[in-house]
Amino acid sequence: MDQAVSAAGDDPVAAAQVRLAQACGGLQAWQIDPATWTATGHPGVLDLFGLPATASVRDLLEAIHPRDRPRVRRSFTEACRPGGVCLCDFRVMLPDGGVRWLRHAGEGVARPDGSLRVVGFTVDITGTRTAARDLVESEARFRSFIDHSTSLIFAKDLQGRYILANSAYLDLFGFASLEALLGLTDRDRYGHEVDWTLNDRRVAATGEPLEAEEEADFADGRRTYISAKFPLRDAAGRIVAVGGISTDITARKAAEQALAESEARFRVLADSAPVTIWMTAPDGSCTYMSRGWREATGQDERAAAGSGWLAALHPDDAPAARQALAEAIAGQRAFRQEYRLRHRDGRYRWAMNVAVPRLSGGGDFLGLIGSIMDITERRQLEEARALLMREVDHRAKNALAVVQALVGLTSADSVAAFKQAVTGRVSAMARAHSLLAANRWLGGDLAGLAGEELEPYAGRVHMAGPAVDLPADYVQAVSLSLHELATNAAKHGALSSPDGRVDLRWELVGDGRALRLVWEESGGPPVAGAPRHSGFGSSLLVRSIRGQLGGTLRQDWRPEGLLCEIVLPLTHDEGGERG
C-alpha cells in the first residue's frame, strides 16, 4: 500500500480503453492488486482525489471522508474475488477544504497466471449529486408551495390522466395519497364526462389559457369554483399537459347573491319611503338618490351624482349645504340641516336633511347615508303656532281691555238691564273668540260670523254676499259691530216690530282692497231722525270701525229705517274673496 501509483501499463488495448473512457465520460481507469495493494492507473485518478503524482494508496484512503471510509472498504472487499463487483459513491476531502463526490466501479478479474486484479473506473459526480440534490430540494419546495395553497392545484396529461395534485385537492376529493389519483381520468372517477373536462380539452386544443366558473357536486351540496386553466409545454414548446388552479367561490357567490338581494330590497324600501334616501362615497360625492328625489325635484339620479344635487337647492342655501356636508365627511359624523328645495313645479319647499356615518363591518368609513324630508307644512305649523301664541297673548289683553271698557261705559236703568247689556256684548266677543279658535286664529268667515251673531233673528234678517275671509284682527270688531246694530234694531228699530226686517249685504270693492257692508232696516217703527244723544252702543260701533279697523262708517236715519254703510280696508295678505 506504500508503493506509488504508477502510470498506465504497457498493454496498448488497455491504454486505448482508458483514453476513450476518459474522453467520453471523464472516467479515470485504475487497477489494484489486492495481494500487494499496489495500484496502477491514469494520473487523472490522483487529480480527482486532489493528490500529487507521488501519492500512495494510503494517501488515497486517507483522502476519503471519514464517514465514507467504512462503506468504501466494504464495497471494495466485495470486488476482491473473481467476478466480484464494487460500486460506491463517496466523498473526498480536498486540500483546499472542499469536498468532491466520486463514484467508482470495479470488478475482480482473474489473470491467466491465477493472480487477481480489481480493475475499475472513478468519475467525478459532484455536479450530478448537486443537480440531484437541487432537484430534490426544488421538488420539495414546489410540493410545499402547492400543498400550502388552499386552492386546488392539479395537472392532467393530454389523455386526461392526472399527473399532479396538491394536498387541498386530495383532501377535498378523499384521496389518501397522490399515488391513488395518478393515472386516473375524470371518467374513471365519475363514470361519465364532467363539465370541466370540456375546458381542459379546449386549452389542450387551442393552447390558450382560460378562466371559467365550474361547479362540482359534493355530499354537502354543490360548490362553485373559479378555475384558471393553462397549457404546460416541454422544452421544445410542445403541449404535454394541462394545468389548473381552482378556487372555491361558493361563499363569495352566496355573499354576492345575498348582497344583490339586499340591495334590491333596500332600493324597494328606499323608493317606497315617504322621504328621499341618499348615500355618498367616503369623499362625500353622492352615489345614490332614491326615487323620491326625482319625483320631488325632477332631477334624475345621474344628474344628482357627485355634487349635482346642489343645483336643486335655493342659491342662497346651497353654499351652507355644501359646507355642512364637507364638515360631516371630514369629521365622519352625523349632521342635520334645513334648506329650501326647488320642486319640479318651480316652487321652493323647505326640506330637512339628516345623515349619519355609514361604516363597514370592520368599522371603516364608507361615507354618509341620510334622508331628506319635506317639512314645509311643519314649518308653517310652527310659524302658525308662534303667531297663535302671540295672537292669544294679544287677544287676551285686548279682550280684557274691551270687557273693562264695556263694563265701565255701559249704562242702564237697573241692574238687570246692566247685566243684559254687558252679557250680550261679552257673548258677542265669545262668539268671535270661538270662530277664531276654530280657524286656528287665522281669521274667520264673514258669513259664518254674521250667521252666529244674528241667529236669534234668523227669520227676519236676510244676508247676501260673496265668501270673504276676515283677517284675525277684524273678527272681534266686526262681531261687536253687528251685535250693536242688532241690539239697537231689537230695541228701537226694525227688529222691535213683528213686521220689521233687516237686509245685510256685503261686497268687495276697489279691486278687492276693501270690504263694503250695508245694514238696511225696514218695516219697523217710523224713524224721527238721528238720536239726540249717542249711547254707548253707537260709541262702541264708531270706535270699532273707525278707531280699531281704520274704516269708514255712515249712518242714515231714514223714516223707513236705519241705513248703515261700513267700508273696511283689506289687503290681499289679510283677507279677500274665496272661491
pLDDT for res 573:
42
What local confidence, expressed as pLDDT, does residue 416 receive?
59
- Is 380 among the domain residues? no
Answer for the pair 500, 460: CB distance below 8 angstroms, yes or no: yes
Residues 57 and 97 in one domain: yes
Structure confidence at residue 574 (pLDDT) = 40
What is the predicted pLDDT for the residue at 239? 94
Within a domain: 392? no
In 343-393, where do the E strands start and end? 348-359, 365-374
Q: How confident is the model at residue 202 (pLDDT cuts 50, 70, 90)?
A: very high
What secondary structure does DSSP assign to 6-57, as a single string?
B---S-HHHHHHHHHHHHHH--EEEEEETTTTEEEE-HHHHHHHT--TT-BH
The per-residue pLDDT for range 547-572, each reduced to its tens digit, is 788 899 999 999 999 999 999 998 64
C-alpha of 346 from chain center: 32
Domain that holds residue 453: 402-577
Residue 417 clears pLDDT 90, i.e. is over it:
no
Q: Is residue 136 part of a domain?
A: no
β-pairing, 514-522 vs 468-470, is unpaired
Q: CA nearest 75: which of 63, 90, 62?
A: 90
Judge residue 483's burial from the number of C-beta atoms within 10 Å of its C-beta, 0-12 exposed, 13-18 middle, 19 or more buried. buried
Q: Which three cell numbers stand for residue 380?
A: 308653517
Looking at residue 1, what is its pLDDT? 32
Q: Where are the beta strands (DSSP E) in 453-499?
A: 461-464, 468-470
**Statement: residue 143 has pLDDT above 90:** no
In a domain, residue 46? The reply is yes
If asked whether residues 64 and 197 sit together in one domain, one would say: no
Cα gap 279→5, rounded to integer Å: 93
pLDDT of 362 over the 60 cut: yes
The partner residues of 370 in beta bridges, in order of sequence, read 278, 355
Q: 535 and 429, same structural domain?
A: yes
pLDDT at 461 over 50: yes
The three-point CA angle 130-135-136 to 5° equals 100
Number of domain units in the chain: 4
What is the DSSP annotation of 272-331? HSSSEEEEE-TTS-EEEE-HHHHHHH---HHHHTBTGGGGGB-TTTHHHHHHHHHHHHHH
CATH code, domain with 240: 3.30.450.20
pLDDT in the model for residue 292: 87
User: Is residue 368 helix, strand or coil?
Assistant: strand
Is 202 within the bounds of a domain? yes
Which of 373, 365, 288, 371 has its CA nearest to residue 333? Answer: 365
Q: What is the pLDDT averaged over residues 30-35?
A: 85
Picking from 220, 248, 276, the residue at the C-terminal end of a domain is 248
| pLDDT on residue 436 | 57
- CATH at residue 541: 3.30.565.10
Of 69, 103, 131, the residue that ends a domain is 131
Write down the pLDDT at residue 442.
56
Do 440 and 546 lie in one domain? The reply is yes
Concatenated DSSP letters of 173-186: HT-SSSTTTTT--H
Length of the chain: 579
Clarify whether residues 414 and 541 are in a common domain. Answer: yes
Is residue 486 within 8 A of residue 457, CB to CB? The reply is yes
For residue 270, being part of any structural domain is answered with yes
- Asked if the structure places residue 391 within a domain, the reply is no
The pLDDT tens digits for 311-356 are: 999 999 999 999 999 999 999 999 999 999 999 899 999 999 999 9
Q: Are residues 94 and 165 in the same domain?
A: no
Record the pTM: 0.44
The pLDDT assigned to 355 comes to 92
Q: Mark whether 327 and 433 lie in a shared domain.
A: no
Predicted confidence band at 131 (pLDDT cuts at 50, 70, 90)?
A: confident
Q: Read off the pLDDT of residues 71-93 as tens digits, 9 standing for 90 and up.
A: 999 998 998 899 899 999 999 99
- In eight-state DSSP terms, residue 527 is P
Query: Within this chain, do residues 286 and 183 fall inside the same structural domain, yes or no?
Result: no
Q: Please answer whether residues 357 and 334 qualify as being in contact, where contact means their C-beta atoms are separated by less than 8 angstroms.
A: yes
* 1 within some domain: no
Q: Grid coordinates standing for 232?
A: 404546460
Q: Which residues contact 320 (CB under 8 A, 6 or more apart)?
A: 337, 339
Which pLDDT value is given to residue 357? 95
Q: Are residues 243 and 264 in the same domain?
A: no
Same domain, 457 and 552: yes
Q: Are residues 365 and 429 in the same domain?
A: no
Same domain, 514 and 539: yes
What is the per-residue pLDDT across 260-307, written as a single tens digit (0 to 9) for each?
887 878 787 777 788 888 999 999 999 998 888 998 899 998 999 999
- What is the DSSP code (8-state) at residue 431? H
Q: Which of 248, 271, 300 is the last residue of a domain?
A: 248
What pLDDT shows up at residue 14? 58
Percent of the chain beyond pLDDT 90? 38
Amino acid at 373: M
Cell of 302: 345621474
